[in-house]
C-alpha cells in the first residue's frame, strides 16, 4: 500500500472501524486455531505446561477404529451434504425465483422447526422406525403381512438422511440472499429467447449461485461431521462410530480420567487438513467470481418465474413431504413427550397419562432461563454480523494482501471441534480474569459463541457481496466518494437482506447452541438449551420437551417479528 493510500485509510473512520472488527474476528478465530494446534501437539493440558509430543496423534491413528471412523465419517459427511442440497436448492429457488403461492409458510416452518431439540427428533424416528417396536414397522408389517420389519433406523443411511434434512434450514438461509440477489433480467432474457424455466434454472440460476452452493457444501460438510445427536442416538446403539461420537467419548465419557482434549484436538487437526483442501477448491472458485457478479447498478425489478398449476402442486407436495419429515413428526413428538410422565410410543393406553404437569413443574425455571437466552440471542448475532460484514467486505471487495489468509483462517476455524473451541474461550476467560472478570458472566459465552458464528456470517455475507459488480464501487470512486462511505452507503444497503437474514439466522443458531454453553455454564448463566440438555441427561424427557415447546413458542414469536420487520422494510 502506498503512503498516500495508507494515510487515506487512517483518516477514514469507517475503514478504521472495519479494520478493528476484522482484527477482532481474526483474533477470536486464531485463538481457537492456536489452542487446537498446540493442544494436539502437547502431552497433557496446555495449562499444565508445554510438553511437545505426537502422542495424541499416535493414540488416534493407532486406535483400531480409526479407519472405520474415517470411512463412516466421510460417507456420512458427503451423504449429508447431498441430502441437504436436494432439499435446500429447490426451496431457495421456489422461494426467491417463482410465483409459488403461500411461500412464506415455507420460511415460517423452516425457522420454527429449529426449536425442536435434535435428540427428540432422533428419538421420534427411533420410536417410529426401530425394528423391535417401531410404529411404522408394526403398521407396514401388518398391512403387507411381512415377516421381518421393513425399516431399521440403526443404519448409516438413516443418520445421513436425518442429518441432511436437519441441515436444510441453515443451508437455505445461507444460500437465500444469493438466490434473492440474482438479477431477474438474466432469467427474463432466457425466457424471451424461448429457453424453458428448467433449463434457465440449470444453466443460469444454479451456475450463478455456484460459489455460495459450493461454500455452503464445504461449510456444512464440516458441520455434518461434528453433529452428535443423530450419530449418538441412532449410530451408537449399533456401534456405527463417527468423528462426533468419538469426540464425545474422548471428552464427555473419558476413560476414568480428565477429558482427553489433546486427542480431540488431534482429531480436529484432521478436520482442518480436509478443510484446507476444500478451501483451496473454494478460493479457486471465487477467483472467477467476476463471472458471478449479478447485481449491477442497472439491476432490474425482480420478476418471478411463473409455475403452472401442476408445478405448483408438485412443489407443495415436495414441501409437504419435507414438512412432515422434519417438522410435523418432530413437533408432534415434542408435544407428545411433554405431556407424558415418561417416553412411550403413541397409543390409546398412553393417552390416559396425558397431563400438563411438566409445564407446571418447569414454569418457575422459565424467567431466568429466558432472560439469559434472550441476552445471547441479541448479543451473539450482533457481534457476529458486525464482524463478518467487515471480514466479508475485506475478502470480497478489496485487494488487500493477505485477504485469502483471512478467508482461510475463518474457514479453518469451523473444523475446530466445538468442544476445543469452547475450551479456547475458557482459557481466554481465565487468563484475563484478574483484569477483565467476564469469566463468571454470560458475556464470555457471548464472545465464544459469536466467534464460532463469524464463519457462518462471513460465508453468507460474502456470498451476497460477491454478487455486487465492481462498476458500482468504481462509479463511487470516480465521483470522489471515499471507500468507507461507499461501504456504508452503497455496499451495506444492497447486502442488507443478507445482513438481516444472517442476524436472524445466527440468533436462531445461538438459541440451539449447546456445546459452548455447556462448557462455560455457571449456576447464574443457564440458558434454555442447557436446561433441555440437563433435563434429558437426568432422564426427565417430559421436562426437556416442555422446555422445548417453550423454545418453539419463542422461536415462533421471533419468526413472526422477523416477518413483520421484513414486510416493513420491504426487504
Partner 1 sequence: MKHGKRAGMSWLWILTVAFGLIVSSAQAASQFPPAIEKLIPQAKAEGEVSLFTGSVKATLGNAERFSQAFSKHYGIPMKVTLAALGSHPEVIQRLREEAKVGVKPPVDVFNSSITMLYLLQQANLIEGVQWKDFGISDKDIITPLVAVDIQTLIRAVVYNTNLVKKADAPRRFEDLLDKRWKNKIVAPGNAQIFPYIALVMGEEPAMKLVKQLVEEQKLAFTPTVTDVTVRVANGEFLVGYGYTVGLDKKKGAPVENAPMKVGAFRQCSVLLKNAQRPAAARLLVHFMATVPEGKRLIDEILNWGKYDTPGTEAYELAHGSGLIFAKDIGDEIQWETKENLRLTQQLRKVLGL
Of the residues 44, 345, 497, 556, which one makes contact with partner 1 according to CB under 8 A: 345
- What is the C-alpha radius of gyration for the chain, rounded to an integer number of angstroms? 24
Of the residues 193, 255, 301, 479, which one makes contact with partner 1 according to CB under 8 A: 255
Three-state secondary structure call for residue 415: coil
Q: Does 252 bind partner 1 (CB under 8 A)?
A: yes
Q: Given the rule CB under 8 A, which of 30-38, 211-219, 357-365, 401-409 is the region that contacts partner 1?
A: 357-365
| Partners of residue 52 on adjacent β-strands | 42
Q: Does 391 bind partner 1 (CB under 8 A)?
A: no
Q: Given the rule CB under 8 A, which of 10-18, 92-100, 289-297, 427-435 is the region that contacts partner 1?
A: 427-435
Of the residues 143, 256, 348, 478, which one makes contact with partner 1 according to CB under 8 A: 256
Binding-site string for partner 1 from residue 87 to residue 126, where x marks contact by CB under 8 A and - marks none: ---------------------------------------x
For partner 1, the closer of residues 154 and 316 by Cβ is 154
Closest CB 272 distance from partner 1, rounded Å: 23
For partner 1, the closer of residues 160 and 231 by Cβ is 231
Distances (CA, A) of 376 to 430, 443, 446: 20, 8, 6
Q: Does 245 bind partner 1 (CB under 8 A)?
A: yes
Q: Does 362 bind partner 1 (CB under 8 A)?
A: yes
At 366, give phi and psi (nearest 5°): -60, -50
Dihedral angle sign, alpha carbons of residues 414, 420, 425, 427: negative
Cβ neighbours of 124 (radius 10 Å): 21
At 132, give phi and psi (nearest 5°): -75, -55
Count of H helices and E strands in the chain?
30, 0
Using the CB atoms, write b or e for 401-433: b if 16+ within 10 Å.
eebeebbbbbbbbbbbbbbbbbbbbbbbbeeee
Q: Given the rule CB under 8 A, which of 8-16, 213-221, 426-434, 462-470 is the region that contacts partner 1?
A: 426-434
Three-state secondary structure call for residue 411: helix
Closest CB 521 distance from partner 1, rounded Å: 6
Closest CB 175 distance from partner 1, rounded Å: 32
For partner 1, the closer of residues 175 and 444 by Cβ is 444
For partner 1, the closer of residues 183 and 229 by Cβ is 229
Q: How far apart are CA 531 and CA 548, in angstroms?
A: 9
Q: Does 386 bind partner 1 (CB under 8 A)?
A: no
Cβ-contact 520, 369 below 8 angstroms: no
For partner 1, the closer of residues 76 and 200 by Cβ is 76
Residues 489-548 contacting partner 1, CB under 8 A: 518-519, 521-523, 531, 534-541, 543
Give the total of residues touching partner 1 (CB under 8 A).
Answer: 64
- What string of DSSP letters covers 546-559? HHHHHHHHHHHHHH
Q: What angle do CA 317, 202, 79 make, to 5 degrees?
A: 65
Of the residues 219, 439, 456, 503, which one makes contact with partner 1 according to CB under 8 A: 439
Burial class of residue 443 (count of CB atoms within 10 Å of its CB; 0-12, 13-18, 19+): middle
Percentages helix, strand, coil for the chain, rounded to the nearest 5? Answer: 75, 0, 25
Q: How far apart are CA 295 and CA 473, in angstroms?
A: 12
Closest CB 332 distance from partner 1, rounded Å: 16
For partner 1, the closer of residues 24 and 250 by Cβ is 250
Of the residues 430, 436, 557, 560, which one makes contact with partner 1 according to CB under 8 A: 430
Of the residues 6, 239, 288, 306, which one makes contact with partner 1 according to CB under 8 A: 239
Q: How far apart are CA 509 and CA 433, in angstroms?
A: 28
Residues 26-45 contacting partner 1, CB under 8 A: 45
Q: What residues have CB less than 8 Å from 274, skipping those under 6 apart?
A: 222, 415
What is the binding site for partner 1 (CB under 8 A)? 45, 47, 64-65, 126-127, 130-133, 154, 228, 232-233, 236-239, 241, 245, 248-249, 251-259, 341-345, 353, 361-362, 364-365, 426-427, 430-431, 433-434, 439-440, 518-519, 521-523, 531, 534-541, 543
Amino acid at each position: 500500500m502506498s503512503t498516500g493510500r495508507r494515510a487515506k485509510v487512517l483518516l477514514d473512520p469507517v475503514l478504521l472501524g472495519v479494520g478493528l472488527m476484522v482484527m477482532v474476528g481474526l483474533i477470536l478465530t486464531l485463538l481457537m486455531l492456536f489452542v487446537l494446534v498446540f493442544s494436539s501437539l502437547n502431552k497433557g493440558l496446555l495449562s499444565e505446561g508445554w510438553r511437545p509430543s505426537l502422542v495424541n496423534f499416535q493414540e488416534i491413528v493407532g486406535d483400531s477404529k480409526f479407519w472405520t471412523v474415517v470411512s463412516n465419517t466421510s460417507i456420512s459427511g458427503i451423504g449429508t451434504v447431498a441430502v441437504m442440497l436436494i432439499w435446500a436448492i429447490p426451496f431457495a429457488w421456489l422461494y426467491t425465483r417463482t410465483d409459488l403461492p403461500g411461500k412464506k409458510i415455507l420460511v415460517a416452518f423452516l425457522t420454527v422447526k429449529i426449536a425442536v431439540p435434535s435428540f427428540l427428533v432422533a428419538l421420534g424416528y427411533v420410536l417410529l422406525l426401530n425394528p423391535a417396536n417401531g410404529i411404522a414397522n408394526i403398521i407396514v408389517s401388518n398391512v403387507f403381512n411381512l415377516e421381518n420389519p421393513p425399516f431399521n433406523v440403526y443404519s448409516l443411511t438413516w443418520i445421513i438422511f436425518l442429518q441432511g434434512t436437519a441441515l436444510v434450514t441453515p443451508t437455505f438461509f445461507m444460500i437465500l440472499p444469493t438466490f434473492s440477489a440474482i438479477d431477474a433480467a438474466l432469467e427474463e432474457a432466457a425466457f424471451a429467447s424461448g429457453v424453458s424455466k428448467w433449463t434457465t434454472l440449470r444453466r443460469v440460476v444454479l451456475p450463478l449461485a455456484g460459489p455460495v452452493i459450493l461454500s455452503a457444501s464445504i461449510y456444512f460438510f464440516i458441520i455434518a461431521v461434528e453433529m452428535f445427536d443423530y450419530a449418538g442416538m441412532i449410530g451408537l446403539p449399533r456401534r456405527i462410530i463417527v468423528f462426533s461420537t468419538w469426540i464425545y467419548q474422548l471428552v464427555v465419557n473419558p476413560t476414568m480420567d480428565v477429558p482427553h482434549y489433546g486427542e480431540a484436538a488431534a482429531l480436529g487437526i484432521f478436520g482442518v487438513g480436509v478443510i484446507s483442501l476444500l478451501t483451496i477448491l473454494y478460493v479457486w472458485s471465487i477467483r472467477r467470481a467476476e463471472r458471478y457478479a449479478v447485481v449491477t447498478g442497472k439491476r432490474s425489478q425482480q420478476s418471478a418465474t411463473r409455475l403452472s398449476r401442476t408445478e405448483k402442486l408438485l412443489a407443495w407436495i415436495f414441501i409437504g413431504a419435507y414438512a412432515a419429515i422434519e417438522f410435523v413428526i418432530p413437533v408432534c413428538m415434542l408435544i407428545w413427550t411433554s405431556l407424558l410422565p415418561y417416553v412411550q410410543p403413541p397409543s390409546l393406553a398412553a393417552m390416559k397419562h396425558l397431563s400438563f404437569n411438566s409445564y407446571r413443574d418447569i414454569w418457575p425455571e422459565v424467567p431466568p432461563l429466558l432472560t439469559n437466552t434472550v441476552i445471547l440471542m441479541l448479543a451473539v448475532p450482533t457481534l457476529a454480523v458486525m464482524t463478518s460484514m467487515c471480514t466479508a467486505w475485506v475478502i470480497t471487495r478489496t485487494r488487500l494482501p493477505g485477504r485469502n489468509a483471512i478467508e482461510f483462517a475463518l474457514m479453518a476455524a469451523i473444523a475446530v471441534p466445538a468442544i476445543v473451541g469452547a475450551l479456547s474461550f475458557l482459557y481466554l476467560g481465565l487468563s484475563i480474569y484478574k483484569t477483565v472478570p467476564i469469566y463468571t458472566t454470560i458475556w464470555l459465552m457471548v464472545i465464544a459463541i459469536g466467534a464460532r458464528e463469524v464463519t457462518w456470517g462471513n460465508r453468507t455475507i460474502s456470498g451476497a457481496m460477491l454478487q455486487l459488480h465492481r462498476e458500482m464501487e468504481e462509479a463511487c470512486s470516480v465521483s470522489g466518494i471515499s471507500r468507507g462511505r461507499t461501504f456504508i452507503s452503497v455496499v451495506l444497503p444492497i447486502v442488507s437482506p443478507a445482513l438481516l437474514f444472517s442476524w436472524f439466522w445466527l440468533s436462531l443458531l445461538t438459541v440451539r447452541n449447546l456445546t459452548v454453553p455447556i462448557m462455560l455454564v455457571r449456576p447464574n448463566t443457564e440458558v434454555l438449551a442447557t436446561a433441555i440438555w440437563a433435563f434429558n441427561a437426568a432422564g426427565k424427557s417430559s421436562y426437556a420437551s416442555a422446555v422445548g415447546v417453550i423454545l418453539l413458542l419463542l422461536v415462533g414469536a421471533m419468526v413472526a417479528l422477523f416477518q413483520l420487520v421484513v414486510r416493513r422494510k420491504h426487504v
